[in-house]
Amino acid sequence: MGTIVWLGSEVMFFAGLFAIYFTLRSTSPELWESRVPLLDLPFAAVNTTILVLSSVTAQFGVFAAERLQARATGWKPTQWGMIEWFFLTYVMGAIFVAGQVYEYAALVSEGLTLASDAYGSAFFLTTGFHGLHVTGGLIAFLLVIGRAYAVKNFTHREATSAIVVSYYWHFVDVVWIGLFLVIYVLR
């Protein structure tokens, strides 16, 4: 229950970031027209796909946790446990963060920074805070995986931890879909 309440507060936090973005965009449309072409939509779409697919792998990890299967019983993905699915989710999330860092470096080389103008501030604040949330989710996955290794018997308690982390991960993915649509698609 606490996680749901906390995620509600996170919704409000990101609603504020969306409000900042829309407000700045409405007051400086000419700035948006000149800065949006700097964005690499195909790259961002691939990066978004990786993050969205990581929600699928996280859910497969939850299914394994719900049947109290912490570890794989074979090499096939159909035999994977929560640990393997969550590790794959972790790798995909890390690829997403690395993609964000790469994109930031490309934009900075083009002269777009947090301090360059209102567009840079809006872009880097919204995507940067999201990136911090993804990084927090990656840490949570490592903690859940470590906990699964640390216990003798994988119980409902460990499964509940996995489910709660998946709630957070799905939330982060949904927020990114909104950010992607607003920043990259709605030009």
Tens digits of residue pLDDT in 88-146: 999 999 999 999 999 999 999 999 999 999 999 999 999 999 999 999 999 999 999 99
Instruction: Return the half-sphere exposure (C-beta side, CA atoms, 13 A cut-off) of residue 52.
Output: 12
Q: What is the pLDDT of residues 163-185, one digit of tens each?
A: 999 999 999 999 999 999 999 99
Residue labelled with tokens 């792998």: 57
CATH code that applies to domain 2-185: 1.20.120.80
Model confidence band, residue 2 (pLDDT cutoffs 50, 70, 90) = confident
Token pair listed for 5: 């309440």
Residue listed under structure tokens 């990084």: 135
Specify the long-range contacts of residues 84-89, CB closer than 8 Å, at least 24 apart. Answer: 85/57, 85/58, 85/60, 85/61, 86/57, 86/58, 86/61, 86/141, 86/144, 86/145, 86/162, 86/165, 87/141, 87/145, 88/54, 88/57, 89/54, 89/57, 89/58, 89/61, 89/141, 89/169
pTM for the model stands at 0.93
pLDDT 10s digits, 91-105: 999 999 999 999 999
pLDDT at 133: 96
Number of neighbours of residue 120 by Cβ within 10 angstroms: 19
Is 152 within 8 Å of 158 (Cβ atoms)? no
93 Cβ contact partners less than 8 Å away, ≥ 6 residues apart: 51, 54, 134, 137, 138, 141, 169
Half-sphere exposure of 171 (CA within 13 A, CB side): 22
